[in-house]
Structure 1
């Protein structure tokens, strides 16, 4: 009986892992589809609006019992964990392929380690350090690859830095959740933090963009908004809940392995969409994934 329950938990964990890899790995192609009609700001705002609205029923009943410190930290989590990265990823993908953006996103676990060491008194192990060096070498290669080989530092694609900044935001977010939210469950943190930044996204979307005009008058705008609805509802809101469930039925090490599968899915979508990866790209991709694997091992 105990063995059957263990096998069932293992099967569930693998199911969650595969679903999450497919969902999060598909996020970058959905951003790309949204950018065919909408500006980066509109894409980022719509992603937050859809995610925030779908989680509103979970967040509203939990608002009453919050104290001032929790409210302050939840606003910060909403900004650095969702709001700011949504805009950074959209802007970055105006000059980066969806597949490479997915690879850069794999740096998030290493930024968790860096931010933790800088601001939360956690320590960087020798293995963390080696992984960081290897992964950053891979990032530099990806930023400088061009037709005919590797360029020089003056030819770095600076838009990749926007993705790394988004990963740093995620790293700060995860450390805040780890060290400052002992009493709140992860699902509640996600839902409430998104509800706090939802008004910002709505105000920006309807006062500072052309979204209202585009959705009514631009061909393909409704379909593009549909892609962003999938991104916000499935790729942001429901995926975070699913990840929290997976952590309960599997180890954190197993759960973190989704990091290595997301770039694979992103690359597959990119290649299917006609994106071209050069030989140098593959070398950089392997370096990033290997570095993250080394640096994230327990």
Structure 2
């Protein structure tokens, strides 16, 4: 979810959550933004090529941190379902963004980094914050009012498919291979399988599903925008992600009072869900992912994308007692297979730019 969240690279993408320059996420739900630069070394910064700072959890083996990141982003959709039972979707989105931004800003202060100063960078980050954080986070929150968290997690996994489809139009350097086109077709066939198209989508709330797919599409639009406008900006991922989440928080702080009334109370469980998704899935997850990208490279780090919908489905069924028909896991596997094909590398020896739509969660 995803990633969520702060900042990740397009090549490491994803979630749900969570997520600047960024996500995630993921994956897509993380809402992290993409970068358009490539790295010459696995320990180089995905944005500048400079040596990346050591991550806070570097003392722990990367497989453990990879597992933690998968779990955090996988549980993002459960947190959204729980949170929207106590707060309006816009209020929950504002809360997760505020807590996520707070975590990153604290790290910025501790590391003595500076936020960007250029008005041009802030202007582009404002657009990125809308498409990578404020809009998709809100759409997923609204979607889970009427669809299971399992379905929302699977919809989030379609971000690479949207990214590939849009990059063909928006990015001249992205020429689709037959394999990637096949992946695109296979992925959307998986979506139709999940939704039970042969049954006339019976039992599926089309509005909620469309919102979840729209959130996934929003991530892809945001990644492409960032790639076209902020490539090579001389700021760290932490600085850019913090600024982006701060802007997204401000956007939601302006919009939320216009469409919602103040909550009558602050129920503990939904409030904890907002704090957990913000601080962990949107804030801390970025720091973990950034360390993974620097240590093991974006190709391996982006594999977290394929665990997120699996964990989201397991969490929804086990903890929320959501019903699961055979077509949901089968369709999800087809979606992930299609997404993997769209992210497959060319066989040439040259390095290609990170593809838009690769998830951060």
The corresponding residue for 1:36 is 85
SS in structure 2 of the partner of residue 18 of structure 1: helix
Question: Is the contact between residue 76 and residue 277 of structure 2 (CA under 8 Å) also seen in structure 1?
Answer: yes
1:27 aligned to which of 54, 73, 76: 76
Aligned residue number for residue 308 of structure 2: 262
Query: Do structure 1's residue 127 and structure 2's residue 186 form an aligned pair?
Result: no
Q: Contact 1:137/1:288 (CA < 8 Å) preserved in 2?
A: yes
CA shift for structure 1 position 83: 0.9
SS at match of 1:257: helix
2:96 paired residue number: 47
2:28 alignment partner in structure 1: none
RMSD of aligned Cα (Å): 2.3
1:140 corresponds to: 192
Q: Give the counterpart of 2:117 among 51, 66, 82.
A: 66
Asked if the contact 2:90/2:252 (under 8 Å) is kept, the reply is no
Measured after TM superposition, the shift of residue 206 of structure 1 is 4.7
CA distance in 1, matches of 2:270, 2:329: 30
* Conserved 8 A contact 1:110-1:292: yes
User: 1:243 maps to which residue?
Assistant: 289
Residues 159-206 of structure 1: CA deviation (Å, up to 9, x unaligned):
222122211221222334444231222222211111112222233445
The alpha carbon displacement at 1:78 in A equals 1.1
Query: Which secondary structure state, in structure 1, belongs to the residue aligned with residue 175 of structure 2?
Result: coil
Is the counterpart of residue 213 in structure 1 residue 264 in structure 2?
yes
Residues 14-62 of structure 1: CA deviation (Å, up to 9, x unaligned):
2222111100000000001112111222222222122123323456862
Q: Which residue of structure 2 lines up, in the alignment, with residue 6 of structure 1?
A: none
Out of 272, 276, 284, the position equivalent to 1:226 is 272
Q: CA deviation at 1:134?
A: 0.7
Residue 235 of structure 1: how far off its partner (Å): 0.5
How many residues are treated as equivalent by the alignment?
279
- Residue 151 (str. 1) matches residue 207 (str. 2): no
TM-score (ref. length: structure 2): 0.71
Q: Distance in 1 between matches of 2:253 and 2:297?
A: 37
Larger radius of gyration: 1
Rate the CA distance shift 1:211–1:125 in 2: closer, same or farther, 3 A. farther
Residue 233 (structure 1) shift: 0.9
Any gaps of 5 or more consecutive residues in structure 2? 1-57, 346-361
The answer on 1:181 being equivalent to 2:227 is: no
Deviations 1:66-119 (A, max 9, x none): 222211111111111111111000011112111121111111222232232222
CA 213–203 in structure 1, closer or farther in 2 if over 3 Å, else same: farther
Give TM-score, length-normalised by structure 1: 0.85
Structure 1 residues 205 and 81: alpha-carbon distance in aligned structure 2, compared to 1, 3 A threshold? same
Instruction: Name the SS for the 2:72 alignment partner.
Output: helix
Residues in 1 aligned to 2:237 and 2:335: alpha-carbon distance in whole angstroms: 28
Kept after mapping to 1: 8 A contact 2:82/2:270: yes
Structure that is richer in helix per residue = 1
Unmatched segments (≥5 aa) in structure 1: 1-8, 216-220
Task: Output the CA distance in 1 between the equivalents of 2:107 and 2:270.
Answer: 27
